[in-house]
A and B are shown apart, each in its own frame.
Chain A
C-alpha cells in the first residue's frame, strides 16, 4: 500500500479501519504469538528446548529416564532457592548471602541438635528462626541504611561465611558438623526433607515435587495476590509504590525473609541427605541462583519477571551440569557453558522484551 496516514489526525473517525466506536482503533489486537512473547520466561523456554535437544543428540546416556530424574534433582535443589531469589530480584534487590545462608541453616540445626542432644526437630525449628532472622536483618539493614542491597548482603555474606567456619570449628574442632543420623526424629525429618520414591522403576527425589509446588505457589503469589502486585511495584518504581500506599519496607523485608525460608528448606534437605554439613559449602551458589533467575527472564534491575522463569533457568542449569557428565566431557567446561548460556539468555530476553513491548 502506498497510502500514508501521516497527515491525518490519529483519532480521526474517518479511519476506515476502526468501525468499532468503542475502540480508539490505533492498536491492532496484539496477536497471540506477540502476547506470548511478552511473557518473561519465553526466551528461557526456547533456550531450554535448545539445550535439551543438544544433549539429547550429543549424549546417548542423557536420553534415559533416570538421567532426566538426576537432571531434575540437580535443578530442584538449586531451583528451590532460585525462586525466592527471583522474587527478591523482581522486588529490586539482590541477596549475595543466599548461598552461605543455606549452610548456616543446616549447621545451626546440626550443631544445636547434636550439642544439646535434643530431637532433631528442635534444631530444625531453631534453624528456621535463625534463617528468617538473617533475612529480616538483611532487609532491615537495607532499609535503615539506604545502602544498595549488593553491599549490605555482601557484608552478611562475609559474616555468615566466617561464622560458619569458626562456629563449626569451636564445637567440632573440624570443618564439618557431627553426623546426626542416629538422633531422635532423624528418620522422620529425612522422610520429609530428603526422601525419594519410585515411578516406573526410576527413583525420583522428593525435592522435585517441592520445587514444582513452590513454583506454582510463587506464581500464584506474584500474579494473583496483593503482595505479588507490591513485589512488582517496589522493584519497578519504589517511590511511586510508596506514594500510592504500598508498604515498601514491609514488602522488601518479607522478600528477604522469603530467601531465608528458602535457605532453610534447602539447608534441611542437604543436612538430612548427608547427615553432616561441610562448613565451607555454599560459597558461589548465590550467583547460580541469580543466574537461574536472569536466564529465566527476571530483569536484573527489578520490576519484571516470573516464577516460572527461574524454574526453567534451574532446569537449564541441571541439564548443562549433568549433560556434560553424560556426554563424557571434562566437567570443567560446565562454568564456561553456563557463562555462555547466561549471556545468550540475557540477549534473548532483551530482544524478546523489546519486540513484545513495542507497539
Chain B
C-alpha cells in the first residue's frame, strides 16, 4: 500500500481540487476500486464538498481534557490563576472560572489548588467519519471551531484509513493535507511514501513552499512540486522551477489558471469529471500520470 499526501504550505493553492481530480483519475485507471481517500485538513475539511459522499458512520472525537472548577469547593484563593501559563483562568464576579477554549489541559492548576476543587474533564472536540464516495471510501473529520488541532485527529483519520486499506487490500491512500508546517502537517506527512506540494507562483506561495518543503524533508518524505495557476505570474513559476532544480526537487508540472476549477467546485465535482477537456483538466491528467510513475518506481524521473 502507498500513501500519497497532497500539501501546499500556503492555503488556497488548490490542494483539495487537485486531490479530488486525482481521486477521479485514479478511479479510472489501474487503481480503480483500489484507492481510499483521507481528508487530513480537519479544520477546513472540504473534500467532502466536492465528492458529496454518503455518510456511513460518524463518531465523537475527544481530544483531551480541560480543567473544571467546582464553585462549591473553591475558596477563591487565586492560586490556580497564578500558576496557569495559558491565561485560561480568570476571576469573574468574585468567582474563578476556566475558559475551556484557552485551557491547554496541563492540569497544573489541579495539583496547585489547596482545596482540591479542580478536576479534569474529557471533552469532545470534533467528530470522525467514514463515507462512501463515488471514487472510494473517504475518511474525514470535523474539528469544532476554536479547538486545538494537535494532530491527534489527523492521526486518527489516517490510522482509520490505513486500517481499512490494509483490510481491503487497497493499494493507494490519497491524503488531502492541511496548510502550514505545524502539528497537523507533521501528522499528515508521517508515514507517507510521497508528498506532492501544490504551490502557486506568487511571492507568498514561493515563500511558504520553501518552508513546507523543509518540513517534508525534515521527516524524510520524498517530495514533488506542481505549480497551480502557473500562467498568472510566469516569472514566479520560473523561479519556483529553478529553486526546485537547485534543491534536487522534481517540479513535475504546471496547471494553468482556469475558472473551470471554481465551477467544478460549485457543481460538487472533480474538475476532470466536470469538464474533461478544460485546460486545467488536461494538465491534471498529465500530472497524475507522472505522479503515478513516481509512486510506483520512487527513483524514476518522469519525463517533464
Whether A associates with B in a native complex is no
Q: Give residues in A with beta carbon < 8 Å to B.
A: none
Q: Give residues in B with beta carbon < 8 Å to A.
A: none
